[in-house]
Structure 1
Amino acid sequence: MRRCLEISLRGKGYTAPNPMVGAVIVHRGVITGEGYHKIYGGAHAETNAIGNVKDPGTLKDSTLYVNLEPCSHFGKTPPCTDLIIKCGIPRVVIGTADPNPLVSGRGITRLKENGIEVNGGILESDCRHINRRFFTWNLHRRPWIILKWAQSADGFIDLVRAPGSPVGPNWITSKTARILVHKWRAEEQAILAGTNTVLKDNPRLNVRLWSGRDPLRVVIDRSLKLGRQHHVLDNSISTVVFTEPCKTSTAKERVYPAEGNNIRYVPLLFDDTVGMQMLNYLHSQDIQSLIIEGGAYTLSRFIEKNLWDEARVFTGPKDFRKGVKAPSLQGKIVRQMETGNSHLQFIYNSSSEFIP
């Protein structure tokens, strides 16, 4: 099962909104085939593993290991359970049941109904954790939320910007840390920033220092302060702008009137539930993970509403002495490391069911 988890990670950043799945076939104590789900819409892990077995005749005396319950419904590919049954595999070992209502126990039932021995719950906590984005989307109907920021050694997220200050970030971390951040962007489905961050830093919110897909850009622009001069509205990649209802038509006329472009304005009521409204919209678009790279205000609003699952916090070596205070966060530190000139902490929400 650990091998299943190991190879499943090869699909990270490419399988969403599907989960990451690895499968291993063992015949008389020897691995004869393995495979993983490579890309959304492509063959599933079980199909790839079976296809890699050189002698199909051994399948009738083999065990299939897989970290997630095999699917039993027709989607973009046929049901994996049908292939397992057809190949005569007598035993299947599963890490955890699938939370997807279209599967959720049905795959296990179908295998058992066809005389296949099924064992489940193997390394279940690890199997759920690796697909925490998929589980959160299905069980809580929102994306997995990652907060990310860098702070000075004395706890500031930014310097105070005087009127007329140059636009651009006040770097706290080294390029090594920034490369890591771009790797994270390539692994997640969406990235969010608020109006002030865009006005002060003019970020691109894309992937440049790593190989991979650009996430969906999500921008909060309640009063339509942003325009074509800002990178997030350069129309180069898919972008969602959350704004007030009465401003939406004006935004389309002023910024990108052409149909079929990459920018979509989404009206929201900016009341006490606005954070959840954003998450509901992203859920409706099959977005299972969201990095919030906002400033102190945006990050703090999500923290206050307990709308976060994980935080990744860099602490650099500089003292700012004064500036904008970094957000205050209580949670469980699950990992720490040094990267470049910075100390990096991975913090989980203490109420999370996916703490590793």
Structure 2
Amino acid sequence: MFEAIKFGEDSRRISGPNPWVGALLESGGQKHFGRTQRPGGPHAEIEALRQVTSAKGSELFVTLEPCSHFGRTPPCASSIVEAGVKRVNIAILDPDPKVFGQGVKILSDGGVDVTIGVRASEAAHSLAPYIKHRSTGRPWVVLKLAMSLDGKVAAPDGSSRWITGAASRAHAHALRADSDVIIVGAGTVRVDDPTLTARLDDVVKQPERIVLGGIPEGAKVLPARSYRGDIEDLLGELGERGVLQVLVEGGPTVASEFHRLGLADQYSAYIAPAIFATDRARAALSGSSMESMEGIWRGVTSKVERLGNDVYLEIFSESATGLLNGLQREGIEMAKRLGLGFLE
């Protein structure tokens, strides 16, 4: 399943608004991989099945419950049954109401041996933006922070290039490429004049750029949308449009507002071994009225990675973690109700 998850992630930048599913079919002692293609193209399971003459008696590993409805493509669950696959291992259920549990039922009713929960945590992490969108109708919000060891993002004069190193900036470009929309404050546009593009060789489509406030004439961020309104309304609108992931690049005023409102699902922090040691430097986050340790915000560490001389921390909010864990629990409960195999 781990191989299927990694293989599926290679479709992340082309599959939206569909999930980047990975599949591995073991047949005749050989492994055959499939992953979601562009919208309207084959799903991961079909891609894997097409690689064999006969799938009768084979075993399939798939990162998300096979679809059960006719959309742009026929239902994968029915195709798996018709192909004669003997056993299907599913990482997590599909939270889309059109699919949830129905794919599993088609497989089980068709005589397929089904197990739910294989590498569920890793799959949920990989598909977090899709899970959030299909569960709530809103995009997964990533709050990016590039800061010093003492939590500062800019010097007293407003300068901030560069706190982190080249490896962190390259990683951040990949984060942009994985996002559908980038949100930034008007102050950052005026001071830094960023382009906010993903400068990678394999970028298929640049993310849409939204500036909270006015955009100066000739700003490098253009073409971009200027938005003046409620942030939650904006996220709701983006969700209705099928946007799966939003990247918030600040500055500190915008980042603090997203944090204060509890809108960030993922905090992507690039921390440099540099220290300002002055209260006049801009803090990454501010504005909280907390007075004691009882009011401190705590998240769940998802990833720690060294990037050159910097450290990358990926933190999920408790609400986002609860959403992902809840889907995993639902898979186990469904398996128990239907008498299927499951892994906790």
Structure exhibiting the larger radius of gyration computed from Cα positions: 1
2 CA distance for matches of 1:136 and 1:277?
17
Count, aligned residues = 311
Contact 1:202 1:230 in 2 (8 A): yes
Deviation, 1:209, is: 4.2
Aligned to 2:299: 331
Q: Does 1:341 align with 2:309?
A: yes
Question: Which runs of 5 or more residues in structure 1 are unaligned?
Answer: 163-167, 244-267, 269-273
Deviation, 1:338, is: 2.6
1:38-117 aligned at under 5 Å gives the runs 38-53=37-52, 55-56=53-54, 59-117=55-113
Equivalent position SS for 2:123: helix
Give the alignment partner of residue 241 of structure 1, picking from 205, 221, 226: 226
TM-score (norm. length: structure 1): 0.81
Equivalent position SS for 1:196: helix
Contact 1:151 1:315 in 2 (8 A): yes
Contact 1:160 1:323 in 2 (8 A): yes
> Structure 1's 62 and 335: CA in aligned 2 closer, same or farther, altered over 3 A?
closer
Deviation, 1:129, is: 1.9
Equivalent position SS for 2:150: coil
1:190-209 aligned at under 5 Å gives the runs 190-209=181-200
Question: Which runs of 5 or more residues in structure 2 are unaligned?
Answer: 287-296, 329-344
State the AA in 2 paired with 1:123: R
State the AA in 2 paired with 1:24: L
State the AA in 2 paired with 1:343: V
Contact 2:197 2:206 in 1 (8 A): yes
Give the alignment partner of residue 155 of structure 1, picking from 151, 154, 166: 151
State the AA in 2 paired with 1:327: L
State the AA in 1 paired with 2:235: L
Deviations 1:243-280 (A, max 9, x none): 2xxxxxxxxxxxxxxxxxxxxxxxx3xxxxx2211210
Deviation, 1:301, is: 0.6
Deviations 1:177-198 (A, max 9, x none): 1111111111121111011111
> Structure 1's 341 and 92: CA in aligned 2 closer, same or farther, altered over 3 A?
closer
2 CA distance for matches of 1:108 and 1:240?
42
Equivalent position SS for 1:64: strand
Contact 1:183 1:211 in 2 (8 A): no
Contact 1:24 1:31 in 2 (8 A): no
Deviation, 1:98, is: 0.7
> Structure 1's 31 and 301: CA in aligned 2 closer, same or farther, altered over 3 A?
same
Deviation, 1:40, is: 3.2
Contact 2:190 2:216 in 1 (8 A): no
What is the RMSD computed on CA atoms of the aligned residues?
A: 2.2
Contact 2:183 2:250 in 1 (8 A): yes
2 CA distance for matches of 1:331 and 1:90?
41
2 CA distance for matches of 1:195 and 1:216?
15
TM-score (norm. length: structure 2): 0.83
Equivalent position SS for 1:231: coil
